[in-house]
A and B are shown apart, each in its own frame.
Chain A
Amino acid sequence: GQQVMQIPQYQHVQEGEDFTTYCNSSTTLSNIQWYKQRPGGHPVFLIQLVKSGEVKKQKRLTFQFGEAKKNSSLHITATQTTDVGTYFCAGTGYNTDKLIFGTGTRLQVFP
């Protein structure tokens, strides 16, 4: 079945440094979503990408969807302590209603 992996599993950065998490699917995806989960909280939707090669920005966050629609990335510029949490990608293959989540990347930001 469809598998979605993320690297790294953990990342510790100094405040102001950049951060990137990578998402790789075993199958081609029709779309990919990104979620953020604060410690002790629940996942909250950030963004969705649908088109091959699509790039979207939200303030300091940049999201990319690979040309083959099998990978994606999230890049945070100049991290802040408010960025702390676990970032998940989630994708849906074609001809399925299943939304499969990646393994997540936990980000810790030191002031």
Chain B
Amino acid sequence: NAGVTQTPKFQVLKTGQSMTLQCAQDMNHEYMSWYRQDPGMGLRLIHYSVGAGITDQGEVPNGYNVSRSTTEDFPLRLLSAAPSQTSVYFCASSYAGPPETQYFGPGTRLLVL
């Protein structure tokens, strides 16, 4: 099993550009989530999904869209990138929702100029 994979590993965007961060898992996990990590602020929940076709907002959803058309994939879309979205983004998955163990991907480092 590859576990949780994320692409790209690193991306540079200009303000106003859009892009999609990819996340996939091959563990047949129902629950998937996106976090952003900024210095001194820990991991903040952006969006999460309890199963295919179901998504919900986390702590900091503004500026991000998600969809869950399949169990395996949970892409995160930045509609119009802003410098405040410069961060490291982690995708995580678990068999069911919390308190199940969360398995994290390797992360995507995003720089918005």
Chain B, Cβ-Cβ closest to A91: B98
A104 to B105, CA, bound (A): 18
A97 engages B90 (CB within 8 Å)? no
Tell me how many residues of B have a C-beta within 8 Å of chain A: 26
- Among the listed B35, B105, B107, which residue makes an inter-chain contact with A101, where contact means beta carbons less than 8 Å apart? B35
Chain B residue at minimum C-beta to C-beta distance from A42:
B104
Question: Complex: how many Å from CA A90 to CA B58?
Answer: 14
**A80 contacts B by Cβ under 8 Å:** no
Q: Does residue A78 face the partner (Cβ distance < 8 Å to B)? A: no
User: In the assembly, what is the distance between CA of A14 and CA of B105, in Å?
Assistant: 32
CB of B23 closer than 8 Å to a CB of A:
no
- B104 & A43 in contact (Cβ 8 Å cutoff): yes
Residue B42 at the A interface, CB < 8 A?
yes
Closest to B106 in A: A42
Query: In the complex, are the beta carbons of B40 and A9 less than 8 A apart?
Result: yes
Q: Is the CB of A92 within 8 A of B58?
A: no
Interface membership of chain B positions 71-104, coded 1 if the CB is closer than 8 angstroms to chain A and 0 otherwise? 0000000000000000000101000011101111
In the complex, are the beta carbons of B99 and A97 less than 8 A apart?
A: no
Q: Does A48 lie within 8 Å of B43, measured CB to CB?
A: no
